[in-house]
Structure formats: C-alpha cells, structure tokens
Structure 1
C-alpha cells in the first residue's frame, strides 16, 4: 500500500512539474504584433520579458519571432511605436517632466484604460536607481486596452516591472492624459476627479467612484468593472 501511495505521489509531482512548465511556456511567448516607427504592423509571437541585455543600452526591449519555428530577435523602444502581447497593449513613452524610469527616458507603458482620458501603468517611476525595467506576466492584472484608439478588451495581464539590480521602485505607478506626451501622475488626491472624468460615459461606474468604493490601490478592479459595464452597452 505504501509503495502504491509513493508511486501516486511521484506521478502527481511529475504531472505538477509538467503543468508548471506548460504554464511558464504559455506565458513566455504571446500571440500579438508590433507597430514599428514607420507605422508598419507585423504579427507574430512576442516575449515581453526576454531578460539579459537589450540591443540598445538603457532602452526597454522585447523579443519577437514571426512564428513558432522562426528565430527570435530583439526590438527596442527605438524600433517601435507600440506592441500588443496577448490582449494587453503597450506604447513607447518618454518619462514625463524630470523623471526617469529606472534610468531610462524611453520605455514601454501599459495602456490600462483606453478612453479619451487614458490611464497608463508602469513600474520604476520617479528618479530611480539602476537596473532596467522588464515586462512581467501577472495573471492577476487582467485589464488590457488597445493603443492609438483601438481597444483589445480584458487582457492576459502583462505589467511592466522592475528588473532588479539596484534602486528603482517596484510600486506600480499610474499616469493619466490624452496621450503619452501629456501624462501626469494619478494620485490619491486626484483619483476621484480624474477617474470620474475618464469614465464619465458610464454613470453607474462614476457613482461607485464618488461613493469611494474604489481608490488607487484597487484601480485594476475599477477598470475591469468599467469594461464590464461598458460591454453591456455594445
């Protein structure tokens, strides 16, 4: 009996490892596309967090391949306007004002909300120390929105993250604005006003914001709620 239980335990362990590997591989390469600096869109598979050194020093980068059998290559912020991985959209942005993002002026930011007033998300905001940012896959971050006016709905949950190796903040920071050139920090103080204006097309959602049901710490739940309500009208 003990041998049977031990055998079952080993089989369960092996199957668990296989499942973990499969999930890891699924998160590594995501179907999507990128739009280069000339506006040309190329579809394929994107790995938002390739690790290592990128093609250009102190620039964010992703890995891309045309199909599963193709050789991957790197794309940096200098090459791209935007990219979509899974159902989340990212655009190239310049750190606003005198800020740097983990010692970078340009990097990718996630478009968390794609309305007239957009909400952008990134990590390592502020005058942080070394270590380049990477893009991490996080299944709990389930809000994606398309860039440049196209919406891609609820998403896989890819968020920008700090790649380690020094200072820089691990805190997810949010910005708002009509575009990346006019981003400003979303704060506890302006949250209610900004989000009410950004989501003004859905009075039901605005009512919940004004009732203090949401704040900066659960903004992702608010955006998911907004998208759900909006979808009922489409």
Structure 2
C-alpha cells in the first residue's frame, strides 16, 4: 500500500485545522446587545469557560490578550465573512458536544438556511450512525441589514471526517437547518430537501427548476448555495 497519499491527506487536514484556528477580523454582539470589534477565532481544541456551551476566543487587537466568551454571553458573532448565531438544538434533538452552541447563517431571508459549524453526532440528527466534523472557513454570509446579512462569495464548510447515512439523510458533512428563526429551525434531510429548498430559493425560478430536476441534492448543498448566490447577484445587477 502506498503510504504517501495517506501522508498527504493528513497534511491537508492539519493545514485546514490550522486555517480554521487563525484569528479573523470580526465582531460580536453580547447578550446585552453591545457590539465589540476585533479578532475572533474558534479553537475546537481549547476548553470553554462554561460546561456544555460553545465559545469563541476574542481579542481587541493583535497584541491584546485573548479572552474566551461563552455562548450564553453572546447573541451572535461575525468571523471573517461568516455570521453565526447562538442557539440550542432544535426541539426533539440533542447536540452531544454542547447544549448551547452556534449555527452559521448560510442564507438570510424570510426563510433562513443554517448550518452547523462543529462536531455533532449523526444519530442524534437522523437516527443514523457515524459522526461529522465540519468547520466554516472563509467567505460567505456577512453582517447585513437584517443583522446577519448575506455576502456573495460563499463560505466553505469542510467535512473533516465521519460518515454515515441515517434514516433522515445525514451524510457525514455539515448539517443544515431551515426556519424563520433558530427557535423554529428544522433539519433538512434527503426526504424534505426538494420541498424545503424550493421554498428557501423560491425567488429564483432557474434555481428552483434545477432543484426539481434533481441537479442538486443535500450532498452538494454547498454547490447549490453558490449557484443560488450567483443567479441572485446577476439578477440584482440587471435590475440596477
């Protein structure tokens, strides 16, 4: 067996992990509604200040000492061009890593699209086996007029391991949800994917037609989101 592909794969994972832990410009809104700007990162290897809560690390400038801020002390935060909001798991579901955690806002409209950014177990989402670990890196949603906004460019959800296809359709990558807000969000599965996404992306008929034609599935949601943003941006430019 050739060991070099394995070594290359390991180096890629290390590089991705290192990138995910880099400080990025951003800002957060605390539980009292105060906003602070600076540098933010998510370090999955670190221990949080409050048990069973996700957390961020923050420093006002590059030379400042970092502080850990637990999810209960936050409403939301922006890291790079990605926006996150604090929430519990949807009703009837369980997140084994943290009881209170963050989800990324992938699309911010009346009916929003959310994605997990961190480690959760498939069996608690969809009745299946295996686990997935995904980290949001780079571009994507930004801080906008609704508070969390949408930026053209697309964030990257990189699955770093795990697999499995549960009865509800979990496949070892990012877990996606939809809803008007986090209190009402529900998981997107293979079974409800077409119905949900035609509602979420209903303003763009060309995108809806591709969803109905099964050109996109839950497994390539990232490509669908990128295409939707491309079509959306083109239409807005034409209307200007």
TM-score of the aligned structures, taking structure 2 as reference length: 0.74
- 1:218-229 equivalences under 5 Å are 218-229=220-231
| Cα distance change of structure 1 residues 36 and 183 upon mapping to structure 2, 3 Å threshold | same
| Cα distance change of structure 1 residues 230 and 208 upon mapping to structure 2, 3 Å threshold | same
Q: Aligned with 2:124: secondary structure?
A: coil
How many residue pairs end up in the alignment? 203
- 1:75-90 equivalences under 5 Å are 75-90=69-84
Q: In the alignment, what sits opposite 2:180?
A: 178
Structure 1 CA distance for aligned equivalents of residues 134 and 60 of structure 2? 20
1:124 partnered with 2:120:
yes
Q: In the alignment, what sits opposite 2:195?
A: 193
CA contact (8 A) 1:109 1:160 kept: no
Structure with the greater alpha carbon radius of gyration = 1
2:214 to 212, 215, 231: 212
Structure 2 CA distance for aligned equivalents of residues 194 and 26 of structure 1? 30
1:44 partnered with 2:46:
no
Displacement of 1:149 after TM fit?
4.8
Structure 2 CA distance for aligned equivalents of residues 160 and 64 of structure 1? 25
Q: Name stretches of at least 5 consecutive residues in structure 1 with no aligned partner.
A: 1-16, 163-168
CA contact (8 A) 1:31 1:86 kept: yes
Displacement of 1:201 after TM fit?
0.9
Considering only aligned residues, what root-mean-square deviation do their CA atoms show, in Å? 3.0
| Cα distance change of structure 1 residues 158 and 195 upon mapping to structure 2, 3 Å threshold | closer
1:93 to 74, 79, 87: 87
Displacement of 1:161 after TM fit?
7.5
Deviates more, 1:43-52 or 1:172-181: 43-52
2:141 to 141, 144, 148: 144
CA contact (8 A) 1:103 1:127 kept: no
Displacement of 1:207 after TM fit?
1.1
Displacement of 1:191 after TM fit?
0.8
| Displaced runs of 4 or more, over 6 A | 159-162
Q: Aligned with 1:32: secondary structure?
A: strand
Displacement of 1:52 after TM fit?
1.9
Q: In the alignment, what sits opposite 1:230?
A: 232
| Cα distance change of structure 1 residues 145 and 223 upon mapping to structure 2, 3 Å threshold | farther
